[in-house]
Amino acid sequence: MARAPRDEALLTRRTGHVEDPTIEALAQEAGHTDELAVRRQLFGWREALSILIPLVLLLVVARNVDWGTALATIRNSNPLLVVAALAVYYATFPIRARRWARLLREGGLALRGRDLLEILMLGWFVNCLAPAKLGDLYRSYLVKQRFNVSLSRTVGVVVAERLLDIFVVFALFLIGGYIAFGRTIVPDLRLVYISAAALAALIALAFVGVYYVAPRVARFFPGEVRRIGRLFREGVLHSFRALPEAGPETVVIWLAEAARLAFVLAALGLELPISGVIFVAVASSLLTTVPLTPAGFGFVELAVVYVLTTGFGLATHDAIAVAVLDRLVSVFSVIVIGGVIYARHRRQESLLHSRR
């Protein structure tokens, strides 16, 4: 992808700034994720274990499931509604790119959403292949490479973006749960509510730490560490100045995620109330914020099956069909499309290096 014109990208650069070598090393490792996967070096024993454990749990939960019925339900899904689910899902990426550009603009980097769309897709692709949210670090690294802006600041902006996502998801989770179940908390869903509340509390504590604690303890660290910390803090905090625009965009993004699930359910001939669709979509999305497995693999499927069966009374084989088809739309399609974009990106990089 060509670089943005100079009059469209106002670059912020601190003279003499040296990136944290640990961050640089991780980012470069993320940049070679696909190469490592091809060489069978990405999925070491830790990564394999992070996938194996939730997969075993999923199989244990579904040990009495009629898999033939579940697969038949998927095979008989309405292809037009599956395409609609794909269309709604991919319509969120330009909105995400535009929102990301707004957040970066608060740090002094004036870009348009289309300047970041390919980078965003590459980040999603890496997140689907590797645990620990390496894709978020990778897209921050690509922004640094392409627009010569501090990596510490761009990582801070991505953290702010994720915090904004979680705030909106948690709010929709509470609203959807209240409308679906009223004031009564379904006993079997207490684990879901407790997990969401614990996650919200951790986020609040982390935000307080960044805002109040970090500046007070910074003097105990070397100057370069303080500079990196300050840039990261600025990236997080300054991004929230974009809330009047980024906030509504975030709501639209997550309502579109719920719409994707609604189309998946309709494609399988299943129905849930709108509030139930929102509740299931955001409850499972909360687990993708825990960077234990690629794209929350295993944990998200467990959450979807658990909530659909326990909270809304769907048969287990139908719930599994929903979980599988939804992940085909939201994860495996990204691996296919993102893989094509990544191959083109690597080819362009090779051509660029060969001309130097």
Q: Is residue 45 part of a domain?
A: no
pLDDT higher than 90, residue 78? yes
pLDDT tens, 204-217?
777 677 666 666 66
Q: pLDDT tens across 117-158, in order?
A: 999 999 998 888 777 677 888 888 888 888 887 777 787 888
| Joined tokens for residue 147 | 């627009």
Q: Tell me, yes or no, whether 12 lies in a domain.
A: no
Does residue 13 form part of some domain?
Answer: no
Higher pLDDT, 66 or 313: 313
Q: Is residue 282 part of a domain?
A: yes
Q: How many domains does the chain have?
A: 1
Region 279-302: mean pLDDT is: 77
pLDDT at 256: 95
Least confident of 208-212, 303-307, 349-353: 208-212
Of residues 261 and 198, more confidently modeled = 261
pLDDT of residue 267: 96
Going 132 to 196 to 210 to 145, the CA torsion angle's sign is positive
Pick from 262, 275, 243, 246: nearest CA to 322: 262
pTM surpassing 0.85?
no
Position with higher pLDDT, 168 vs 21: 168
| Residue 28 · residue 151 · CB < 8 Å | no
Q: Could you give the CA distance from residue 139 to residue 331 in angstroms, rounded to a whole number?
A: 18
Neighbours of 72 (CB within 10 A): 12
Domain of residue 247, residue span = 78-355
Is 159 within the bounds of a domain?
Answer: yes
Please report the pLDDT score of residue 10 as a whole number: 44
Instruction: Decide if 97 contacts 157 (C-beta within 8 A).
Output: no
Is 294 or 3 the better-scoring residue by pLDDT? Answer: 294
pLDDT grade for 4, boundaries at 50, 70 and 90:
very low
Task: Decide if 57 is inside a domain.
Answer: no
Give residue-wise pLDDT tens across range 213-258.
Answer: 666 666 666 555 566 566 666 666 667 778 888 889 999 999 999 9
Q: Is the pLDDT of residue 16 over 60?
A: no
Per-residue model confidence as pLDDT tens digits over 320-331: 999 999 999 998
* Residue 337 neighbours by CB under 8 Å, 6+ apart: 121, 125
Element (H, E) at 87: helix 79-105
Categorize the per-residue pLDDT at 35 as very low, low, confident or very high, splitting at 50, 70 and 90: very low
pLDDT of residue 351: 77
Is 348 or 39 the better-scoring residue by pLDDT? 348
Residue 89 has pLDDT above 90, yes or no: yes
pLDDT at 170 over 60: yes
Q: Which of 203, 196, 200 is nearest to 279 (CA)?
A: 196
| pLDDT value, residue 76 | 94
Say if 7 falls within a structural domain.
Answer: no
DSSP string, 35-69: HHHHTT-SS-HHHHHHHHHHHHHHHHHTTT--HHH
Q: Which two tokens stand for residue 217?
A: 């303890």
- Give a yes or no: residue 145 inside a domain: yes
Q: Which residues of 262-293 are buried (b: 16+ CB within 10 A; e: fewer)?
A: bbbbbbbebebeebbbbbbbbbbbbbbeeebb
Could you tell me how far CA 180 lies from the centroid of its own chain?
26
Segment 10-28 mean pLDDT: 49
Work out the percent of the chain whose per-residue pLDDT is above 70.
67
Alpha-carbon distances of 48 from 51, 56, 129, 290, rounded to whole Å: 5, 12, 12, 17
